[in-house]
Structure 1
Amino acid sequence: MVREHIDTIDALLARYVAGTLPTPARVLVEAHLQLKPKNLIKVRNLEAMAGLELMALEPDPLDDRAAMLAAVLGSAVPDSVAPVLADETRVFPKALYDFVGFDAGDVPWRTKLPGFKEYDLGDIEGCHVNLFWIKPGRTVPAHTHEGSELSLVLEGAFSDGRGHYARGDISVADDSVDHRPHADTGGPCIGFAVVDAPLKLTGSFRQLIGDIIG
């Protein structure tokens, strides 16, 4: 991943520690941490610093993000970090399972496009929330976003020209990103997405038809 993307994930973790994320985004981060417990090191360090850096930053705890993150990433690892590991008997980590009330095998999918299914959880605290399923090898039509999109991969993987995202990885996209997520061929890609504004299709009509019919 490029450094810009890593900084974005670090900023997301900082907002999580600061308690400024809406519930769906908080659940997404908690599920990520259960699948990628190594990032708990950053979270624990941020929590230790919360009384100093986070409370001193006004009005946005990320205004001095670069300096804060440099201090966090350079600080000592806590002696005791207790990760909440994912339950490997389920596809969905505990945070997401508790949030939606079921696992991947019980999702009531609805086909939105050939090779693309969705389960819409609706609008929650200003965010639109859904689960998505992409057929192996399928490309999602090119699009950008009028706001921000967080996508957590739960099973399988996809690539979008910026990076490759597998189980536990978070993709962050906004109005500066125009991408065409492409699922790996090894199996379907299942994910959890939280957006705060609609997406906008950007590809040509020929490209859109090609993506739809595969």
Structure 2
Amino acid sequence: MRSPDTYSAFMLDYAAGNLPPAMALAANIHRLMSSQGDEAALLWESVREVLLDARGESIQLCKPEEPVADALDIIHTDFSEVRWRRGLSGVKYAPTSARVGQMMRLEPGQNVYSHGHSALEATVVLEGALEDGHGVYKQGEILLADSGFKHRPAAHGNAACTCYVARSRTPFWRLT
């Protein structure tokens, strides 16, 4: 589930260059794969430029922070060639070439155990569709699960679902 406020704050932090590398990569993937993501990023970048210009400050885009090449590498991955490792829940995971975040693969009908979050997690659908009991997310869409959010992600439909997952650092996690 993604509240409009959480999404706006996430994309604002992206445009300001305030996201940690794994989250910035999630935002870049979302932006490159989704017109909604690109429109939100452009809107917040425009607001940033106007505010900085009004203050007389130089306008510096956060290009150095944006791992666009890493996002493109992940988007264009041949998922059948990835060396997946099965996690405790049976779901498959793989590291990314960017060494931040990870990819997750759910086979048709497979789900992750029901769980809650103590910090922000960003999941971008790379192929297939993901459902979590709150909605269905298609290719390029981002699911932002913030503190207190509980869900049970599952592959939706008859195809495998591959996602990029980034998590904020947190001292603990919990099963619900």
Whether TM-score is above 0.5 comes out as yes
User: 1:54 Cα shift?
Assistant: 7.2
RMSD: 3.0
1:146 counterpart SS class:
coil
The ranges of structure 1 where at least 4 consecutive aligned residues each deviate by more than 3 angstroms after the TM superposition are 51-56, 97-103, 120-124
TM-score (norm 2): 0.77
Instruction: Find out whether 1:29 has 2:27 as its counterpart.
Output: yes
What corresponds to 1:15 in structure 2? 13
User: 1:5 Cα shift?
Assistant: 1.6
User: 1:33 Cα shift?
Assistant: 1.2
Instruction: Find out whether 1:104 has 2:104 as its counterpart.
Output: no
Q: Distance in 2 between matches of 1:100 and 1:170?
A: 14
How many aligned positions are there? 161
Q: Distance in 2 between matches of 1:100 and 1:38?
A: 17
Q: Could you list the per-position Cα deviations for residues 7-44 of structure 1 after superposition, in whole angstroms to 9, with x for gaps in the alignment?
A: 32222111111010112211111111111124323322
> Unmatched 5+ residue regions in structure 1?
57-92, 203-214
Counterpart selection for 1:174 from 139, 146, 149: 146
What corresponds to 2:175 in structure 1? 201
User: 1:107 Cα shift?
Assistant: 1.6
1:140 counterpart SS class:
coil
1:200 counterpart SS class:
coil
Q: Give the direction of change, closer, same or farther, for the CA distance of 1:54–1:25 in structure 2 (3 Å limit).
A: farther
Which structure has the bigger radius of gyration?
1
Counterpart selection for 1:150 from 122, 126, 132: 122
1:48 counterpart SS class:
helix
Q: Within 5 A, what are the aligned runs for 1:1-214?
A: 5-53=3-51, 95-98=70-73, 102-113=77-88, 115-121=90-96, 129-196=101-168, 197=170, 198-202=172-176
1:190 counterpart SS class:
strand
TM-score (norm 1): 0.64
Q: Distance in 2 between matches of 1:34 and 1:159?
A: 21
Q: Give the direction of change, closer, same or farther, for the CA distance of 1:99–1:140 in structure 2 (3 Å limit).
A: closer
Q: Which has the higher contact order (CA 8 A, sep 6+)?
A: 2
